[in-house]
Amino acid sequence: MTSLKQLFPASFQFSCQLPVRITDINYGGHVGNDRLLVFAHEARMQFLQHYGYTEMNLGQTSLMLTKATLEIRKELFFGDQLSISVHAIQFTSKGFDLLYKIEKINGEQTSVAALVLTTMLCYDYQNKKVALLPKEVLQRLSV
C-alpha cells in the first residue's frame, strides 16, 4: 500500500494550529480516528477562507467531500497542540484533492501524527448536480 507521504509537496500552501479538546478523546483515551476528519474540516475551512472562499461559496459553485483517506502515525491526547498543513493537489475539471499533514507540536519541533486526503467535488446544491471547477479557483489554489 502506498503512503500519502508520497504526495507531499515541497511546501504546503497553508497551515493553522488547533488544540486537542476533551471532546476529541475516545474510549481508548486518545484522539478518535473520526476526529481527524473534524480537524481536517476545520483546517479546510480556514484554508478556503485564506483564499476568500467557503465550502458553500467557491466562486460560482460549492464543494462536497466525496472521499477521505486517513493514515494514523501517532497517538494524540487531550491538550496536545497540533499544526495542520493543507495543500490542494490533483485538480480535475470538477474538483481537486486536499492533502493534510497533522503534526503534534513538541516545543520547537513537530512530529507527524496523521495524514489525511480528501477528494472535493464541485457541486451545485440548488440544482443537485455536479458542477465544473471555476477557472479562477483553479488558478488561485494551484500555486
Does residue 8 belong to any structural domain of this protein?
no
Report the mean per-residue pLDDT for the chain. 95
**Model's pTM, two decimal places?**
0.94
Per-residue model confidence (pLDDT) at position 2 = 73
Q: How many domains does the chain have?
A: 1
Q: What is the mean pLDDT of residues 86-107?
A: 97
- Any residues with CB less than 8 A from the CB of 93 and at least 6 apart, and which? 132, 133
Does residue 6 belong to any structural domain of this protein?
no
Does residue 17 belong to any structural domain of this protein?
yes
CATH number of the domain that residue 102 is part of: 3.10.129.10
